[in-house]
Amino acid sequence: MTSQIMLTAVPGLPHIQAGDDLGGVLLAALLKAGILLQAGDVLAVAQKIVSKAEGRQVNLRDILPDARAQEVAQATGKDPRLVALILQESEEISRLRQGVLIVRHRLGFTSANAGIDRSNVPQTESDADGETVLLLPLDPDASAARLRQTLAAYFGVPVGVVITDSHGRPFRLGTVGVAIGVAGVPALWDRRGEADLYGYRLQHTDVGVADEIAAAAGLLMGQAAEGTPVVLVRGLALPANACKASDLVRPKHLDLYR
């Protein structure tokens, strides 16, 4: 790491629509803002614009919930159509009660409502009550890799991309940015065996670098009407290695709170 890291919200991004070339849109916004990517730069990209570009919007009016979805909906007080989508995107239910449905997502992590969200999702006049929802990308690591390829090809330097989402945590209040897609930066940085200030050799120190980048970027992305879904992180000095966001997922046999 270095002693100075700079975060810059990339301005001027348009509203993303299904089918948009997100890599081209990001490139145009960077150039319009006079931002030239340098080697080692990382772009943190909010999941919502990735999902929108990839057409992951679903209208609840098109969903027919089955018996299982109806049963879980009754236990949680949630819309059965939304529950059907949550179960479709999940491997298993972790916790449920009135108003709460926490699942292990098909991508491996555990989150509320399988990451399905209504916030910052455009609604038609007939859907003013939030009938349109947004699912996570099918393969966020692949999405990050495609964006990285577009940007690295234009600027001619190695860059990183972290696709971020907001997750709650079981023992702390408040949501925080986490990485669900990673390319060009380590998701985990294994620092075991390194010495601390007093010569002690670290025994258990795996640093969730991609999550730290996502959380830092969240300070500029915000959660409401900020309209800044892309943040440039400059000044990191990270090891170069192959990586993916699934590296951050704790294996089931080690998950005591599943």
| pLDDT score at 106 | 92
DSSP conformational letter for 177 = E
| 41, 52: one domain | yes
Question: What percent of the chain clears pLDDT 90, i.e. is strictly above it?
Answer: 64
β-bridge mates for residue 105, sequence order: 90
CA distance 117 to 61: 16
E strands, the chain, in order: 6-9, 42-46, 57-59, 90-97, 100-105, 110-112, 132-134, 160-169, 172-183, 189-190, 206-207, 230-234
| 147, 230: one domain | yes
Residue ranges making up the domain that contains 45 = 6-56+136-254
Average of pLDDT values for 234-241? Answer: 82
Q: Which helix (H) or strand (E) holds 216?
A: helix 209-221
CA distance 256 to 146: 35
Report the range out of 2-11, 90-99, 220-229 with the highest average pLDDT.
90-99
Q: Is the pLDDT of residue 84 over 80?
A: yes
- Could you report the per-residue pLDDT of 180-201, keeping only the tens digit for each? 999 999 888 676 656 666 677 7
| pLDDT score at 63 | 94
CA distance 67 to 123: 28
| 175, 208: one domain | yes
| 25, 82: one domain | no
Q: Report the number of distinct structural domains present in the chain.
A: 2
Which of 134, 162, 197 delimits the end of a domain? 134
| 130, 140: one domain | no
Which of 134, 169, 202 delimits the end of a domain? 134
More confident residue, 133 or 240: 133
- Could you report the per-residue pLDDT of 39-78, keeping only the tens digit for each? 999 999 999 999 999 999 999 999 999 999 999 999 999 9
Q: Is the pLDDT of residue 18 over 80?
A: yes
| pLDDT score at 208 | 80
Q: Is the pLDDT of residue 128 over 60?
A: no
| 117, 155: one domain | no
Average of pLDDT values for 211-235? Answer: 87
Query: Picking from 88-92, 143-147, 187-191, which range would have the lowest pLDDT averaged per residue?
Result: 187-191
Which of 80, 110, 134 delimits the end of a domain? 134
| 38, 146: one domain | yes
Average of pLDDT values for 146-169? Answer: 94
CA distance 195 to 136: 39
